[in-house]
Each structure stands twice: as C-alpha cells, then as structure tokens.
Amino acid sequence: MQETARRDASLASYRTIVNVETAAFGAEPPHRMKRAADAEQPVCPTATYCNISYDADAGEGCYLVRFAPGAGSTPHEHIGHEEFLVLHGSLTDCDGTVYRRDDFVSLKPGSKHVSVSEDGATLLVFIRGGFRALGESEDVHR
C-alpha cells in the first residue's frame, strides 16, 4: 500500500523552491548553535537565515545566510563537512583567505574558523555532521 501512495504523490510534494532575491530571511539560525561564552547569543548575531533543508537534530542540510556589512561568525568547529557558495559579496576567513562571489568552498571535518564580511555577503551553505561553538580557550586554524 505504501508503494502505491509513493507513486501517486506528486513531485511538488517533495520539492522546495527558494529564490534568493525573494526569500524570507529571519534572525533565528536553523542550526540553533549559540556562542560558547554566552548561550543566549546566536553564532552570527548580525546575520539572517533562510532554512531550505537544514535539520538541526541531524546536523545536516542547507540554508541561506546573509551577512550584514561588518558581520561575522563566532569561532566554531565543523564536525562534518561545511561547503558554501558565495552568491553575493565577499567573506574573509581567519587566515586571511577572501572568498568572493561564485567561489565554492569546502572545509573538512575538524576545521576551526571564524569569518567576517566587510561589505556584506549572501551564502548558500551545506552542512554535514553539524558544528559547535569554540570555547574561549580554543584556537581557530590560521
């Protein structure tokens, strides 16, 4: 009986469409990660998010993040891969690497970093395995 139900369901019931220009961005990050030093503060307090498929319990999926000019992330470590495509603006990582529009970046599990966007940026982010905020005594990779 389930096989029949699957065949009868339309493709539309399985699809999500998000247009970057008209997406609804909100302040609450889909990953629910908070700053290690202040559990009430989100990782990127001056960023907004549009969840596409990120499941915080599973620690995987994708979302859009929009950094305001001067916004940055909290230092964090990736448990699994983080991959992102810069759709607009630029983002500078803690080692000085600048990611610009159309750059696709893949960070391996165990990477520890913090990023800032001087001019603002919009990223399409893919996470596998989740991540965690670094404690005050933990260093990022340089």
Q: Render pLDDT for 40-57 as a digit per residue (tens, 0 to 9).
A: 555 566 788 999 999 988
**Would you state the pLDDT for residue 136?**
86
Q: Which domain holds residue 54?
A: 2-133
In a domain? residue 138: no
Give me the helices (H) in the chain, please: 2-8
Residue 56, classed as helix, strand or coil, is: coil
- In the chain, how many domains are there? 1
Contact (CB, 8 A) for 99 and 129: no
In a domain, 142, yes or no: no
The answer to whether residue 139 is domain-embedded is no
Residue 4: pLDDT band (50, 70, 90) is low
Comparing 38-52, 57-71, 93-107, the range with the smallest average pLDDT is 38-52
pLDDT band at 135 (very low <50, low <70, confident <90, very high): confident
What CATH number has the domain bearing residue 105? 2.60.120.10
